[in-house]
Amino acid sequence: TQLLEQSPQFLSIQEGENLTVYCNSSSVFSSLQWYRQEPGEGPVLLVTVVTGGEVKKLKRLTFQFGDARKDSSLHITAAQPGDTGLYLCAPLYNFNKFYFGSGTKLNVKP
């Protein structure tokens, strides 16, 4: 089992604030995915990062894969209530299997 840590576990902010959540491991991964899960639903894929140092943007969300491919971050600019949810990182540790972190639970208050 890979040791995977997501931080912070919980985050409660006001609408309009910026935030960053982190996903760290001691292992090197070939790629890593970020998912968002809303209450009562299954996770939905946001992005896949593959190359060390890669940065991808999805509207107000910016994803970065660490140079050594051991860590990743998700930055949200001007958070909105619709961003509320559980953010999960999932490194690929086998050809087609992912290991999911425990997630960051984000609450954006209007």
Partner 1 sequence: NAGVTQTPKFQVLKTGQSMTLQCAQDMNHNSMYWYRQDPGMGLRLIYYSASEGTTDKGEVPNGYNVSRLNKREFSLRLESAAPSQTSVYFCASSEMHAGGPEQFFGPGTRLTVL
Q: Is 1 in the site for partner 1 (CB under 8 A)?
A: yes
**Tokens 């190359």 -> residue:** 51
Binding mask 23-42 for partner 1 (x = CB under 8 A): -------xx-x------xxx
Q: Are strands 32-37 and 85-91 parallel, antiparallel or unpaired?
A: antiparallel
Q: Find the shortest distance in angstroms from Cβ 107 to partner 1.
A: 16
In order, the DSSP letters of 71-107 are EEEEEESS--GGG-EEEEEEEB-SSS-B-----EEEE
Nearer to partner 1 by Cβ, of 1 and 14: the residue is 1
Q: What residue ranges bind partner 1 (CB under 8 A)?
A: 1, 4, 6, 9, 30-31, 33, 40-45, 48-50, 88, 90, 92, 96-103
